[in-house]
Structure 1
Amino acid sequence: MNVADHPVFQSLTPVFLLIGVGFLAGRRQWIRGDAVKDLSNLVFLLLIPALLFRTMSTVRLDELDLTPIAAYFLAAGLLLALSIAWRGFNCRSVVMALAGTFSNMVMIGITLVGLAYGQEGLVTLLTLVSVHALILLTAGAIVLELAAAREARDRGGDAPHLWQTAWSAIKGSVIHPIPLPIVCGLLFAQTGLTLPTVVDKPLQLLGSAFGPLALVLVGVSLAATPLAGHWRMALWLSVSKNLLLPVLVGLSAWAFGITGLALVVMVVAAGLPTGANVFLFAQRYRVVEDLTTATMGMSTALSLLTLSAVMLVMSWLVPV
């Protein structure tokens, strides 16, 4: 088979070409800081909810298999715990561990999986997306509060309110423009109704605009990402995120007896670069902010190679 005709090449090339276009636009200042914020709001508050609701509005709950989700989070939780244990229990360590485990499943993953594996693969990914932030970010918030409390006690100060922060993290992860439309779409599907054309068509048009715009914004953000002074540690965190996590997820899925497309989507999702939500923790706790930003940029840039490798290996091991 000609390399240009390989499904992995055909699905990855549009993704990284659009990121490259965004990178060029960012470098040339065609899209500036204020515009990026407004466009991000457009993506997250309008385009992505339309895509997620429409995709899940035809999915029956009895068709969903949650075993791959369990396999994914077993591996991600193990890597998170080992990373924290390796560097020590403090806020800096926890944020770095999250940078090595939290995938960019929305801005990059949805378009990539849709192109590579179609509607069936997208449903599997969106099932994971619906709980990805809730589980990892809530766990991260709790562990960070415990670490912050320990550091506060060591300084002789007052410890933060752990459960109040945990509840805020849970509430913010559920009432959110990503999991909320997924849940609403699933609930609508259980009614047995179908969306009328006058509603379905606008949702389809809005959803189709998500992929290109989201990928261009990833490139714009990448253009503004500094690596100076942080590239060595950012490289190690990127290797953890882009290569080590997919290996662990693959082994976990194998242990659960997962095969076929579900296995492939879980491993590819694990191989996606670091997601932007990790920076929110770095910013909140005022630790490794520059390193987190550098890791997001480096893992995204390296994913051109690492994602290609992961997807090629999976196409050889698990033909779908």
Structure 2
Amino acid sequence: MGAVAGIVAPIFALILMGAGARRFRLLDPAGLRGLHDLTFYLGIPALLFGAVVGTPALRILDVGLLYFAGCVLVFVAGVALARRTLGAGLAQASVLGLNCCYGNTVMMGVPMVAAAFGPDGVAILLPVIALHSILLLPMATMLIEADGHATRNPLRILWRTGPSLIRNPVIVAITLALLWRGVGIPVPDPLHRLLAMLGAAAPTLALFSLGASLPDFAAQGSLREAVLATVLKLLALPALVWAGAWAAGTPPLATAVLVLTAGAPTGANAFFLARRTGTLAAASAGAVVLSTALSVMTLSAILALVRP
């Protein structure tokens, strides 16, 4: 447990430092935007690109689909519970379902996995990050758009969401790195050093930025929905992913990375989708804050249980 605390404590200390900087006005909204852009457009892509091109073997498809299967089950459970127990419509239930399975895999998952398992762990995390944006967001968007519009063309919805995925720097970095691997050209030493410098800063910047962003997700009611989403996200999803990995005979390191990532709190993109569609925005904000706060305990427990 001491080794686990040594990994987890600095991570949440950085989150608290970010929140403190925002609370005491050491970082204004414009500065936070710049910090977030630096992290999301340079730091994280450099870290992911370096992880892809520097890893001897990648099991992208099987590991990613294993994780996605758990996400779909939790999404369906969240939608069903929202409709049966909360009387939510399809759009509201879909937003809640997304909050139950869409994790903070970039700003929280990457630093956590990097600290616990190093570059090999980050490489395993790549398909999870990619599938989050490529599959989960369009899936929820189609259901939201379909609520009250049964004849809505799914291809049109994909056409609307596609450009944002193509412009996503995380998706771009992973795609370019896979293409680079496919060509088989070694990374030039100056580029390797640049990627290493940017990638080394990414986890620290991501966690600090996450902490500074939390005040923007202050909940405004909708506690029941936020609690339901948090319970499914922090407890049900890791349990399902672990069960799937065990049944599939997944290697210990990959299992640990997948389960730890499944235990990450609800990602901000779930809130952004809710706000953009005007559906359960307050509940989504509450899920982000509540799950992030409680993940201090749940992630520590998960790491202690699954660390090889």
Same fold per superposition (TM over 0.5): yes
**For residues 226 and 148 of structure 1, what CA distance do their matches in structure 2 show?**
30
Q: What residue in structure 1 maps to residue 86 of structure 2?
A: none
Q: What residue in structure 2 maps to residue 124 of structure 1?
A: 124
Partner AA of 1:288 in structure 2: L
Please report how far the alpha carbon of residue 58 of structure 1 lies from its aligned counterpart in structure 2 after TM superposition: 2.7
Quick one: structure 1 residues 131 and 297, their matched pair in 2 at CA, closer, same or farther if it must change by over 3 Å? Answer: same
Q: What residue in structure 1 maps to residue 226 of structure 2?
A: 234
**For residues 122 and 136 of structure 1, what CA distance do their matches in structure 2 show?**
20
Select 1:50's aligned residue among 46, 66, 83: 46
Q: What residue in structure 2 maps to residue 71 of structure 1?
A: 66
Please state whether the residue corresponding to 2:221 is helix, strand or coil: coil
**For residues 234 and 280 of structure 2, what CA distance do their matches in structure 1 show?**
20
Q: What residue in structure 2 maps to residue 34 of structure 1?
A: 30
Q: What residue in structure 2 maps to residue 153 of structure 1?
A: none
Q: What residue in structure 2 maps to residue 256 of structure 1?
A: 248
Please state whether the residue corresponding to 2:305 is helix, strand or coil: helix
CA contact (8 A) 1:79 1:245 kept: yes
**For residues 77 and 108 of structure 2, what CA distance do their matches in structure 1 show?**
26
**For residues 187 and 148 of structure 1, what CA distance do their matches in structure 2 show?**
41
Partner AA of 2:291 in structure 1: S
Percent of pairs identical after alignment?
31
Scaled by the length of structure 2, the TM-score of the pair is 0.92
Instruction: Say what the alpha-carbon RMSD is for the aligned residues.
Output: 1.8
**For residues 20 and 56 of structure 1, what CA distance do their matches in structure 2 show?**
30
Please state whether the residue corresponding to 1:274 is helix, strand or coil: coil
How many residues align? The count is 303
Q: What residue in structure 1 maps to residue 5 of structure 2?
A: 9
Please state whether the residue corresponding to 1:66 is helix, strand or coil: helix
**For residues 123 and 227 of structure 1, what CA distance do their matches in structure 2 show?**
34
The alignment status of 1:110 with 2:110, answered yes or no, reads yes
Query: Which deviations, in whole Å up to 9, do the C-alpha atoms of 1:197-243 show, x marking residues without a partner?
Result: 22221221111121111111111112343235334432221111111
Q: What residue in structure 2 maps to residue 275 of structure 1?
A: 267
CA contact (8 A) 2:78 2:232 kept: no
CA contact (8 A) 1:49 1:178 kept: yes
CA contact (8 A) 2:48 2:122 kept: no
Q: What residue in structure 2 maps to residue 91 of structure 1?
A: 91
CA contact (8 A) 1:56 1:182 kept: yes
Please report how far the alpha carbon of residue 160 of structure 1 lies from its aligned counterpart in structure 2 after TM superposition: 5.4
**For residues 200 and 294 of structure 2, what CA distance do their matches in structure 1 show?**
26
The alignment status of 1:284 with 2:280, answered yes or no, reads no
**For residues 240 and 55 of structure 1, what CA distance do their matches in structure 2 show?**
30
CA contact (8 A) 1:26 1:224 kept: no
**Structure 1 gap segments, 5+ residues each:** 151-158
Quick one: structure 1 residues 78 and 87, their matched pair in 2 at CA, closer, same or farther if it must change by over 3 Å? Answer: same
Q: What residue in structure 2 maps to residue 154 of structure 1?
A: none
Scaled by the length of structure 1, the TM-score of the pair is 0.89
Please state whether the residue corresponding to 1:37 is helix, strand or coil: helix
Please report how far the alpha carbon of residue 71 of structure 1 lies from its aligned counterpart in structure 2 after TM superposition: 1.6
Query: Which deviations, in whole Å up to 9, do the C-alpha atoms of 1:132-162 show, x marking residues without a partner?
Result: 2111112112222212525xxxxxxxx7554
Partner AA of 2:112 in structure 1: L
**For residues 93 and 251 of structure 1, what CA distance do their matches in structure 2 show?**
25
